[in-house]
Structure 1
């Protein structure tokens, strides 16, 4: 473990308690697998990460700990914490941070990784306590400090929160329909609609069928009404898992829609990492992909994330939607459904 890793973690906004915990986990991994830098130089830690992976299916089948790490307690939770520490170290190595020059290059260190981490720590052994709340910075950083990069600014803000990473924020704050709710729709589109913001509200023929030309209203209505929600929360947005805006079979299909806070919504369009996470989450819940797509691969960090539970199941989706639509006779989606038909009518 490079000695400048502590400084890099601090630059990400972590407090000393969290940093010590990260150093401890990295040191434990190195104690049983050797230095992480060697694994990074070999295959960017792919083999090591695979050995620290323990899926929900592994847990369900009661499979034993596949790693060399000894511990007591829940296998999945323990390995997830060590795997997360390894992924963070890989991110550090991939950040381009230059290794500090050694004061004695001809004298390789003979200290064990655990002792090396202890020497680098200001408080050893690390306290096994919950991370302390971050103290406000003196002189808040401006967008100029982030080199006018909004994504980097968002990462820094999230790093100082309980979520710590963008991936975990997405996992915690994205809401999907319950599989039981989706099962009643067969994964099909609820309304015949596609995206065409220049001709919103018009009806035209598309690929041999008449459809509503819409913005994001019909997918939003589909998600709200099917899930028995009578309103959207403030500063929330409904996002497509797949950018299939001209696919009438996917545009208002529940497996293709999730709800997030508005500040995360932009990432569902611009971040490949976020798109991969959401697509695999949808596939895990519903085993669904749009026509022409293959099942997504599981992102490497997926198992280390804690995902929010889906919304509560709706017992009778058809009746719930009929009731919601009856209360909104002038709604654009309802008017089009009367003319074009919809999944249940």
Structure 2
């Protein structure tokens, strides 16, 4: 960060979700419940995919990493927000703020490319079924995933440096509940147009390029589904696309509104509310959208439940036998 005699900021103050004390308890409880459900839902998806051999396919390989990103995404933002609700002095150090922005930007950008990889997988599976086993090889899947993480890391590095190279010599109060780009840019006392343009260009390229690719893939899937003879296959294709596009619309729509909104018409208070969608709501909803509406995942859950119940029954049987208790209500 550029610094002079009065520009160095050793810490920032996060104003949080709301200043109204009577709402803070409600916000804390609601956020805590959301965080726990997000962790359990996404961890459950990862564990199911690892346990069930039927789910060892490219689609679920990418889905497991989407869940991992959602866990990291939420863990970057929500614990700090919960802590700030509890403490009186809602401060975050310069280094912690930069780390939070970098981690958040990395997860968000990587998630865009993982969603694009999932859309490409569905396009090949439905539109090019004969080529699918050949094209979607393990090598290609690993390459696409590595590329997603690489682009996420490089983009977030540019994003973070562009913002934290600026001097912050005005108010250190960030009108947000985490260290996001737009509210940080608003604190700079120097000409931030170059940094704003850089951030908009990086975010715009990642968001718009992956969004166009995703929409093109799903439009091809929908077009191909119209010609399917099987009503069940057609319904499955439409259902899959509809649920995936709902999540994508929520994620991309809120991101575009916050990051690509004209600076002259920007309201930080409104941006704070909208950013709750892509930073809190999407990680919570993704396990529901991509898993509970998926027949293979539901089958895997039923099998896992059956294994757990079977294990409990065996443990109960062994425990009763070791104590010499009657196993079926009568001796012998």
Which structure's relative contact order is higher, taking Cα pairs within 8 Å and 6+ residues apart? 2
TM-score (norm 1): 0.23
TM-score (norm 2): 0.23
Which structure is higher in helix share? 2
